[in-house]
Homo-oligomer: A and B are copies of this chain.
């Protein structure tokens, strides 16, 4: 909130000094003044450069101090070596904010990292808030501040911009090129923007800070993030939480989804690419909508600022071309949306005003002919009123330069009612006339199918989203915490099981047997058949030495197994400290799953559940969420697995105890959250899920304490 308020003046400075200003328009430093002036910056502008007395008719100052008037923002475009001195001067002169355009800092590596550290230290010491270095600057529409060299803000005199509605989008980008490209592409769709900011190397102000500012900024109705790696996870999460609380939608593009992308994201701004599962878990919790590519990012943002949210994921397609309608239907259904066949009554109602060779099933093929007789808007109206679908996609050709037979005023009235999301797709490349028709009604026009499908999916996802309840972190128990702290050497399976059970995780009964003589009593208390496993902090892979025996059904078999396992351990791992053997009742049959937690260095503990056995790795059928989750959210995780049908009673089998499994997932998540600083990883694998009412059994445990 502090940053949020303090950045008001950053984005709307009353006086700007351009340090390194130059008349050479072929160079970055020479572009700053013309772009500021060309975009109508209304405040005071002070070029600073000892080489010039004036630039383009503006008085130029030899130094910041020479200005002799207050400056809110310093734009710095001088060689990297000179930047630190300029910042000192800023701080001394009472400048509050600086944007360092200059490159050649951490992104260059080597000694230049130190230079950037010095900038960070200066900011901390003086209170001067700094954006960059290696930034492309920012553009703030309302204050008319184009503090950037991006060609995307070059004024285009004579161009009549397309404007769709009033809602403004804020862009925060860890790449100046992409941030302004999203702005450039969004403008072509008629979207309006509040602020576009490129964060550069983030020596001081981070993407999280700007995200937080925009989450609180009344000018910004939706936020578009381009992220390579979040440097301040807590700040980022606070911003995401603020946006969620206010119902402000956020679209996020996260780079580094693949190894090559990660290499690119990591190399060029020296950021931390981080672990994708953790990012996705954060996005899921706070309702951030992920975009796969720039066109999808803009399409999602466009849909969010022009549409109400849908109540479900049922879409009707209204088309003037059967073929284009079929392709749209495939694209939407492929994105997970549902396209229900319309009821006979609704089909009849629509059928009454379209030609017999059309179709009212869904896709609703009204045919090109029905457009001319007003059938398009009638179909849209009927579909707006029905509760059979939650959203409408109109597919048509808006290529004509001269004439489009849609009643613009009537369309505007339908859109203004905001009954449900309504989006248009032109299967031909649209004419300016076509775009204007829709802009007049307050809508953008999609020209590509994949981004349209992504936007409809994102709308449905956002429609389902409820902001997370205020976090109430689970409380650690002192004894468990102490045991974890003491386990610097790792934990045996037995010790891990004891700890988890004490912390409230439903673990099966077990007995650690240190002496052969104690076997019978343990068997008596646990019941036969049993599993027997060697226990040693020095033998992590028990099966490798034949240290696990299953299905021991008699006391004699138990004793023999004990002897063999201990002998094998002594023979094969003579140096190992042996704790004894662990006895557990054999689990009754069921479906194998995996449950666990892992601590992300930035975002903290995640809980995980997935299909067990070979399916975990082969099909990556695993779901991660930020820990903790409650049993309801754990159930939703399970329902989202592709292996979910196994739990519901597959091929005539009895339904399994999915509720018990969900409780176990919630318990593990609470453990991971309560001991977040002490636990690196928990893996319960396999967990055997039994028939409904019979629970599930953890049959193997791995608990890795955090390295401290």
Contacts and interface: CB of A to CB of B under 8 A. Distances in A.
A264, A363, A611 interface centre (most CB from chain B within 10 Å): A264
A355 B175 CA distance: 17
Contact of A181 (B107, B180, B428, B614): B428
Nearest to A368: B177
A324 B181 contact: yes
A261 B293 contact: no
B330 A256 contact: yes
Nearest to A180: B428
A682 interface: no
A151 B399 CA distance: 8
A104, A292, A326, A645 interface centre (most CB from chain B within 10 Å): A326
Contact of A326 (B256, B317, B333, B643): B256
A331 B293 contact: yes
Nearest to A365: B268
A210 interface: no
Interface string A367-397: 1100000000000000000000000000001
Contacts of A269: 322
A449 interface: yes
A317, A327, A450 interface centre (most CB from chain B within 10 Å): A327
Interface stretch (A35-43, A305-313, A615-623, A657-665): A615-623
A108 interface: yes
A227 to B, nearest CB: 10
Interface string A226-237: 101000000000
A228 B323 CA distance: 8
A326 B397 contact: no
B642 A326 contact: no
A6 to B, nearest CB: 26
Given A429-B185, A615-B615, A326 B177 contact: no
A329 B260 contact: yes
Contacts of A368: 177
Contacts of A341: 263
Given A104-B356, A228-B323, A399-B184, A362 B257 contact: no
Interface residues of A, number: 93
A325 interface: yes
A267 B359 contact: yes
Nearest to A198: B323
Interface string A300-344: 000000000000000001011111111101111110000101000
A295 B448 contact: yes
Interface in A174-201: 174-181, 184-185, 188
Contact of A294 (B228, B325, B327, B356): B327
A400 B103 contact: no
Contact of A450 (B103, B104, B292, B617): B292
A320 to B, nearest CB: 7
B228 A326 contact: yes
A515 interface: no
Interface string A349-371: 00000011111011101011000
A296 B303 CA distance: 22
A196 B401 CA distance: 22
A55 interface: no
Contacts of A615: 615, 618-619
A481 interface: no
A255, A261, A362, A400 interface centre (most CB from chain B within 10 Å): A261
Contacts of A175: 321-324, 326
Nearest to A296: B450
Nearest to A184: B428
A139 interface: no
18 contacts: A103-B357, A104-B355, A107-B357, A109-B356, A174-B323, A175-B324, A181-B321, A257-B334, A259-B339, A260-B339, A261-B330, A263-B361, A263-B362, A263-B363, A264-B329, A264-B363, A268-B323, A292-B331
